């Protein structure tokens, strides 16, 4: 309703201008070429600022009348509650749309101004800016939901926090399945989440709940479900992180399989990590500590629980490096599609370059980098373009101004660029004392690793290069242990016979007090997880490498049924306890049914929510004693009317 | 069913452990100007907020314009004008914009009438709301509430914080705007002299309960105040007719309700009695709500007398 928009104009105008300028500056964090010629990989500052601005916008829109003290003045209008509830949400949409127009234009103008380049044909960064800013939509909806929820302020803040974490995990999971987000996928995920949350905010905004009364049935259904989902998802994710840490720490405490002298056995690090000490099959320490260098670790890949709290800003391109500096105060830029430009920093000019004099595009998948020249001039280095998949290596000829093929000697095939510390490559720098490395020049130098040999650049030519000892040692201990079993706590490792040593087999499980402590901690976190997700994980989750929030690898695939049953028992006790409490405080049948079911399905998280939400019924005092009739009464002048 | 514009029927309301309204019941007839009086914290604002649907009663019910207050529709809201305690208006608006906002949100709002009234009160249309004085803001609030021609005007202590001159001016504007409109008015106030000027009926609220619900002229007829100095050890009168017995250095101040000639004759016989006179509203209010008084609800008069030793 336009009439209601009149009172919202000041904050709408303020947020359009302040948000547009602030986000515009955030979108100008790179130079013009990176932003609009190549297109940025990710816009971290813009992402977080847009999310923050979105939350503030949503909260401001809903709380504007509370801030001004005009809530009741507004509520006295003869306007339907639907129109009243919709009005701030529509205003938010207007502001968000304005940002989507202002910010890209502002960023283009700002970067063009600072870079001194005004070429309208470049606009590669617009999709990234627009897609990144889409996060403001769900964030704004979160602000609206949290501000409109008829609940105490602290519960609203908690809801905003949990919804933020929950939606970030959800959007990140949907949009970035392989680490790189698609623009449309990310935008669609944001819009879908925002639409659901705006609908909930609209519902909440219609409820002007009396704080001294419990939620009516519709509010409890919507509000309760929102709370249970938001808290359930985010606390389950946090609990899953704690569970992972505990299980991985227990595994970290297990001894390492090592080769010592002429046998394979178990050893653990001493507290100062400098020495190792042998241990027996029960993980008990035997023997004296010995220097770490005496042991050769035998690697094995036990199942570990992955982190799940990895919601971060979207990455739209998987460039490793799209800009390198040349010696003559110029920069070389490469687009993901293989186009390359040279930019003179003094003249702000952009020239197209490429492979050979024809300036052809670089093959797809190539990355720009450097190879250090270990010749006479220690500061010299060559700009290269490397393609590990294609095995092709190009070097940028600064004199000719284009790339030329760099062929490895003896028909060797390029594999990767390696790095080694300068002091390792040049033993004459010297190892003085344990603290000396702090004072020794510790730059690394890069070299080219071919299939057969390694090469360093020396005075512009490739010469064979002997990798340092550390590189060789990695190859020497390449015997790996085979892990049998997918459980992260109990598994068997078999090391095959090699180099004249007998095969080795050990069954890992918590044996020492420390290992048992961490394993027990992990199981405790497992028990308090939502029984619903635990049951589905136990029955359906066969792929134990899945990193999902809902995967608990202690019980996945039907393992440790007793742990699952214990979780059900804990949830059952919680449901019974909450039923008793709600009866005691005089809650309605609906409230009791809702929270008992929620506690049985979601476990202790729902029990905690029920305690927070369903407060004692002060309104329901049974002994309402009416006050005595007034002492002085005149006859009523109201007439009786027959209905 | 009653023709009342406003009906409170046994309304109770708590805030936490504080019992603010204790079974409030009264009615306001069409066209009546009803003043709700009471000390700070008596429950006046809570009662009005319940009436406007901003709070729900925890027991009992309240109806306005024939509809339950917890479920008011835009139709009823359009017929109610409201002037809040602090005259809250959008501080981002000018007088003209405030009028435009009202006109846009109320179909019956008379914009020309409002602008003309504002002009008469000395308000310039370009003046911004934050720069209006408290009195000007009160006047503007009243104009905005009245210009839509409401059937019921609810004012929550509208003259609070105004000086004597502004208060008088505000009342004049109110009387002027409402003249011959037939609008029912329910307002709360601390200023009893103002109430005497405009109200038809008063309700005195004390600690959440109504002590008085009477027409103003009825009160003046039925309540009498006198000074009585007893002869010897004569006891002051007790009973339903005695509203208050206040001890004096010599004798008692008596506030009597519906006292008969026979009762005055008895008092005159047992002591010296000043000529009975109708108390002012302020005197009556102090007599029944003052802190040093026995209170009409808390303590029976007999108990009070036994404590004070009778004289």
Contact present, B80 and A78 (Cβ < 8 Å): no
Q: Which residue in B48, B51, B49, B76 sits closest to B62, CA to CA?
A: B51
Rounded to an integer, what distance in angstroms lies between the CA atom of residue A68 and that of residue B185? 27
CA distance B15 to A621: 12
Residues in chain B: 311
Three-state secondary structure call for residue A226? helix
Rg, chain B, Cα only: 22
CATH of the domain at B179: 3.40.50.300
Looking at residue A542, its pLDDT comes to 67
Asked, for residue B178, whether it belongs to a domain, the answer is yes
Same domain, B179 and B30: yes
CA dist., res. A164 & res. A139, Å (int): 7
Contacts of B9 (CB under 8 A, 6+ apart): B25, B60, B61, B62, B63
Are both B203 and B224 inside the same structural domain?
no
pLDDT digit string (tens) for chain B, length 311 residues: 678 899 999 898 888 777 888 889 999 999 889 999 988 888 999 999 999 998 888 888 999 998 999 888 999 999 999 998 888 899 999 999 999 999 999 988 999 989 988 888 888 989 999 999 888 888 899 899 888 889 999 998 888 777 777 778 778 877 777 777 788 999 998 888 888 888 889 999 988 888 889 898 888 888 888 888 888 777 888 877 888 888 777 888 888 888 888 888 888 888 888 888 888 888 888 887 765 444 443 344 444 445 444 33
Confidence (pLDDT) at B301: 41
pLDDT tens digits, B216-258:
888 888 888 888 888 877 788 887 788 888 877 788 888 888 8
Per-residue model confidence (pLDDT) at position A265: 86
- B10 and B57 belong to one structural domain: yes
HEC readout, chain B: CECCCEEEEEEEEEECCEEEEEEEEEEECCCCEEEEEECCCCCHHHHHHHHCCCCCCCEEEEEECCEEHHHCCHHHHHCEEEECCCCCCCCCCEHHHHHHHHHHHCCCCCHHHHHHHHHHCCCCCCCEHHHCCHHHHHHHHHHHHHCCCCCEEEEECCCCCCCHHHHHHHHHHHHHHHCCCCCEEEEEECCHHHHHHHCCEEEEEECCEEEEEEEHHHHHHHEEEEEEEECCCCCCCCCCCEEEEEECCCCEEEEEECCCHHHHHHHHHHEEECCCECCCHHHHHHHHHCCCCCCCCCCCHHHHHHHHCCC
Rounded Cα gap, residues A274 and A295, in angstroms: 12
Contacts of B264 (CB under 8 A, 6+ apart): B226, B273, B276
Same domain, B59 and B159: yes
Mutate to test the interface with A, among B67, B82, B98, B105 (most CBs of A within 10 A): B105
| Residue B212 is assigned to a structural domain of this protein | no
Listed residues B188, B207, B226: the one ending a domain: B207
Q: What is the pLDDT of residues A113-153, one digit of tens each?
A: 888 888 888 888 899 999 999 999 999 999 999 999 988 88
**Tokens 């949100």 belong to residue:** B105
Spatial neighbors of A396 by CB under 8 A, at least 6 apart, are A326, A332, A382, A383, A384, A385, A402, A403, A404
Indicate whether B80 and B174 sit together in one domain: yes
CA A383 to chain centroid: 33
Per the CB < 8 A criterion, the answer to whether A179 and A318 are in contact is: yes
Q: What is the pLDDT of residue A475?
A: 40
* A631 beta partners: none
Please indicate, yes or no, if residue B213 is contained in any of the structural domains.
no
Q: Across the interface, do B88 and A208 touch by the CB < 8 Å criterion?
A: no
**Count of domains observed in chain B:** 2
Contact A267, A450 (CB under 8 A): no
Torsion angle of C-alpha atoms A43, A45, A51, A52, degrees rounded to 10: -170
Residue A324: closest CA among A110, A34, A612: A34
Are B162 and B270 contained in the same domain?
no
Q: Are B82 and A78 in contact (CB under 8 A)?
A: no
Q: Which residues of B touch A632 (CB under 8 A)?
A: 211-214, 219, 222-223, 243, 257
What does the block give as tokens for A35? 């932003």
Spatial distance between the Cα atoms of B158 and B167, rounded to a whole number of angstroms:
9
> Encoding tokens for residue A43?
């816009």
In a domain, B231, yes or no: yes
Decide if B213 and A621 are in contact by the 8 Å CB cutoff.
no
- End-of-domain residue from the set B183, B207, B231: B207
CB spacing of A627 vs B208 below 8 angstroms: yes
Q: pLDDT at position A51, please?
A: 95
Q: How far, in Å, CA of B188 to CA of B45, rounded?
A: 8
From CA B221, how far away is CA A634, in angstroms rounded? 11
Residues B165 and B279 in one domain: no
Q: Within 13 Å of residue A357, how many CA atoms lie on the same side as its CB?
A: 1
Within chain A, which residues score under 70 in pLDDT?
A: 1, 176-179, 208-212, 319-321, 375-379, 421-444, 467-478, 542-547, 618-625, 639-643
Contact A465, A454 (CB under 8 A): yes
Centroid of chain to Cα A525 = 21
Contact A33, A142 (CB under 8 A): no
Mutate to test the interface with A, among B104, B130, B243, B301 (most CBs of A within 10 A): B104
Q: Tell me the ipTM for this assembly.
A: 0.83
Residue of A632, A636, A637, A639 to mutate, testing the B interface (most B Cβ within 10 Å of its Cβ): A632
First CA to last CA across chain A, in angstroms?
36
Q: What residues have CB less than 8 Å from A17, skipping those under 6 apart?
A: none
Distance of CA A181 to CAs A186, A189, A312, A555, B16, Å? 6, 11, 11, 31, 51
Distance from CA of A214 to the nearest CA of B (A): 11
Mean pLDDT of chain B: 84
CB B80, CB B64: distance < 8 Å: yes
Classify A468 as helix, strand or coil. Answer: coil
List the domain range (segments joined by +) for residue B105.
Answer: 6-207
Please indicate whether, in this complex, the C-beta atoms of B214 and A6 are within 8 angstroms of each other. Answer: no
Distances (CA, A) of B213 to A630, A634, B28, B31, B304: 7, 6, 10, 17, 25
Q: How far apart are CA A508 and CA A496, in angstroms?
A: 17
Q: Is residue B12 part of a domain?
A: yes
Of B180, B207, B234, the domain-final residue: B207
What span, in angstroms and rounded, lies between the C-alpha atoms of B47 and B155? Answer: 12
What pLDDT shows up at residue B311?
A: 32
Query: Is B258 within a domain?
Result: yes
Q: How far is it, in rounded angstroms, from Cα A160 to Cα A13? A: 25
What is the nearest CA distance from A607 to chain B, expressed in angstroms?
A: 24
For residue B306, give both structure tokens: 């036994």
Residue A640's pLDDT is what?
64
- What pLDDT does residue A212 have? 67
Rounded to the nearest angstrom, the minimum Cα separation between A36 and chain B is 40
Both structure tokens of A299: 């690697």
Nearest CA in chain A to B33: A637
| CA–CA distance, B47 with B206 (Å, rounded to integer) | 12
pLDDT for B266 equals 86
| Chain A residues touching residue B213 (CB < 8 angstroms) | 630, 632-634
**Considering the entire predicted model, what is its pTM?**
0.81
Tell me whether residue B236 is in a domain: yes
Which residue, A489, A480, A481, A486, is CA-closest to A253?
Answer: A489
- Clarify whether residues B151 and B278 are in a common domain: no
Same domain membership, residue B167 and residue B148: yes
Q: Is residue B280 part of a domain?
A: yes
B15 with A212: Cβ contact below 8 A: yes
Same domain, B30 and B113: yes
Instruction: With beta carbons under 8 A apart, name residues in chain A contacting B10.
Output: 626
* Distance from C-alpha of A171 to C-alpha of A190, rounded to nearest angstrom: 7
Instruction: Report the C-alpha gap between B126 and B120 in whole angstroms.
Output: 15
Same domain, B15 and B111: yes
For the record, the structure tokens of A317 come out as 């391109």
- CB-CB neighbors (< 8 A) of A213 in chain B: 56, 58
The bridge status of strand B33-38 relative to strand B201-206 is parallel
DSSP, res A177: T
Under 8 Å between Cβ of B187 and B155: yes
Cα(A582)–Cα(A609) distance, rounded to whole angstroms? 12
Nearest residue on chain A to B24, alpha-carbon basis:
A627
Length of chain A: 643
Q: Are B193 and B288 found together in one domain?
A: no
- Of the candidates B13, B15, B19, B20, the one whose C-alpha atom is nearest the C-alpha of residue B56 is B13
């Amino acid at each position: 309703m336009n009439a209601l928009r009149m009172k919202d104009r000041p904050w709408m105008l303020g947020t359009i201008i302040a948000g547009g300028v602030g986000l515009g500056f955030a979108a100008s964090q790179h130079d013009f070429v990176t932003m609009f010629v190549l297109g940025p990989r990710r816009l971290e500052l813009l992402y977080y600022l847009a999310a923050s601005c979105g939350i503030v916008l949503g909260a401001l829109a809903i709380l504007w009348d509370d801030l001004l003290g005009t809530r009741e003045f507004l509520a006295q209008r003869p306007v339907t509650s639907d129109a009243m509830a919709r009005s701030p949400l529509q205003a938010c949409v207007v502001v968000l749309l304005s940002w989507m127009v202002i910010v890209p234009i502002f960023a283009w103008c700002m970067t063009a101004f600072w870079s001194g380049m005004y070429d309208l044909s470049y606009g590669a960064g617009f999709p990234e800016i627009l897609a990144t800013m889409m996060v403001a939509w769900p964030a704004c909806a979160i602000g609206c939901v949290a501000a409109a929820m008829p609940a105490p302020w602290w519960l609203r803040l908690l809801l905003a926090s949990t919804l933020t974490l929950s939606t970030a995990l959800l959007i990140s999971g949907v949009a970035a399945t392989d680490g790189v987000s698609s623009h449309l996928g990310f935008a669609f995920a944001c819009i879908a989440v925002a639409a659901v949350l705006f609908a909930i905010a609209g519902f909440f905004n219609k409820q002007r709940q009396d704080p001294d009364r419990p939620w009516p049935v519709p509010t409890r259904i919507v509000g309760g479900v929102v709370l249970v989902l938001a808290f359930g998802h985010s606390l389950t994710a946090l609990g899953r992180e704690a569970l992972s840490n505990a299980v991985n720490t227990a595994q970290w405490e297990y001894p390492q399989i090592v080769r010592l002298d002429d046998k394979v056995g178990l050893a653990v690090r001493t507290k100062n990590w400098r020495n190792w000490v042998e241990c027996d099959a029960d993980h008990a320490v035997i023997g004296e500590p010995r220097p770490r260098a005496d042991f050769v670790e035998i690697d094995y890949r036990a199942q570990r629980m992955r982190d799940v709290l990895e919601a971060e800003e979207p990455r739209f391109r998987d460039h490793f490096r799209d800009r390198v500096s040349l010696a003559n105060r110029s920069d070389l830029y490469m687009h993901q599609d293989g186009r390359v430009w040279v930019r003179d920093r003094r003249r702000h000019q952009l020239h197209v370059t490429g492979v050979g004099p024809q300036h052809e595009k670089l093959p797809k998948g190539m990355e720009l980098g450097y190879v250090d020249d270990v010749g006479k001039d220690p500061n010299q280095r060559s700009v290269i373009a490397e393609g590990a998949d294609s095995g092709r290596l190009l070097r940028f000829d600064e004199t000719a101004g284009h790339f030329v093929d760099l062929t490895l000697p003896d028909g060797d095939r390029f594999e990767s660029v390696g790095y080694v510390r300068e002091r390792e490559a040049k033993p004459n720098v010297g190892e003085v004392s344990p603290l000396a490395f702090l004072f020794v020049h510790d730059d690394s130098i890069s070299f080219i690793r071919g299939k057969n040999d390694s090469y360093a650049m020396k005075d512009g030519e490739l010469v064979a290069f002997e990798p340092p000892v550390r590189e060789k040692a990695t190859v020497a201990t390449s015997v790996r242990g085979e892990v049998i079993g997918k459980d992260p706590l109990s598994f068997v490792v078999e090391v095959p016979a090699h180099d004249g040593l007998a095969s080795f087999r050990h069954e890992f499980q918590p044996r020492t007090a420390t290992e048992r402590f961490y394993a027990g901690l992990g199981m405790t976190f497992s028990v308090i997880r939502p029984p619903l997700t635990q049951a589905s994980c136990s029955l359906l989750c066969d792929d134990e490498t899945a990193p999902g929030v809902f995967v608990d690898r202690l019980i996945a695939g039907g393992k440790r049924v007793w742990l699952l049953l214990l979780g059900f028992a804990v949830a059952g006790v919680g449901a019974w306890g909450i039923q008793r409490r709600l009866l005691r405080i005089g809650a309605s049948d609906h409230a009791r049914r809702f929270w008992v079911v929620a506690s049985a399905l979601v476990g202790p998280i729902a029990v905690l929510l029920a305690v927070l939400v369903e407060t004692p019924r002060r309104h329901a005092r049974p002994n309402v004693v009416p006050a005595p009739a007034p002492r002085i009464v005149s006859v009523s002048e109201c007439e009786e009317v027959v209905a | 069913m009653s023709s009342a514009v406003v009906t409170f029927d046994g309304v109770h309301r708590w805030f936490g452990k504080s019992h603010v309204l204790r079974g409030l019941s009264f009615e306001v007839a069409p066209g009546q100007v009803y003043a709700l009086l009471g000390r700070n914290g008596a429950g006046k604002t809570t009662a009005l907020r319940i009436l406007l649907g901003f709070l729900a009663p925890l027991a009992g019910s309240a109806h306005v314009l024939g509809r339950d207050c917890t479920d008011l529709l835009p139709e009823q809201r359009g017929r109610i004008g409201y002037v809040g305690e602090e005259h809250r208006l959008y501080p981002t608006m000018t007088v003209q914009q405030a009028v435009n906002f009202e006109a846009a949100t109320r179909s019956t709002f008379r914009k020309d009438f409002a602008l003309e009234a504002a002009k008469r009160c000395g308000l310039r249309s370009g003046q911004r709301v934050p720069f209006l004085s408290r009195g000007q803001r009160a006047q503007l609030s009243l104009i905005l509430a009245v210009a839509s021609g409401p059937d019921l005007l609810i004012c929550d202590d509208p003259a609070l914080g105004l000086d004597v001159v502004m208060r008088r001016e505000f009342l004049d504007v109110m009387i002027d705007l409402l003249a011959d409109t037939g609008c029912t008015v329910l307002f709360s106030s601390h200023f009893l002299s103002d109430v005497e000027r405009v109200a038809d009926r008063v309700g005195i609220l004390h600690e959440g309960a109504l002590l008085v619900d009477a027409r103003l002229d009825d009160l003046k007829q039925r309540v009498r105040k006198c000074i009585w100095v007893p002869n010897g050890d004569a006891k002051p009168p007790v009973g339903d007719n005695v509203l208050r017995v206040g001890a004096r250095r010599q004798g008692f101040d008596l506030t009597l309700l519906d006292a008969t000639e026979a009762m005055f004759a008895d008092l005159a016989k047992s002591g010296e009695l000043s000529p009975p006179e109708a108390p002012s509203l302020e005197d009556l209010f102090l007599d029944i709500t003052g802190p040093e008084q026995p209170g009409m609800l808390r303590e029976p008069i007999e108990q009070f007398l036994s404590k004070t030793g009778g004289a």
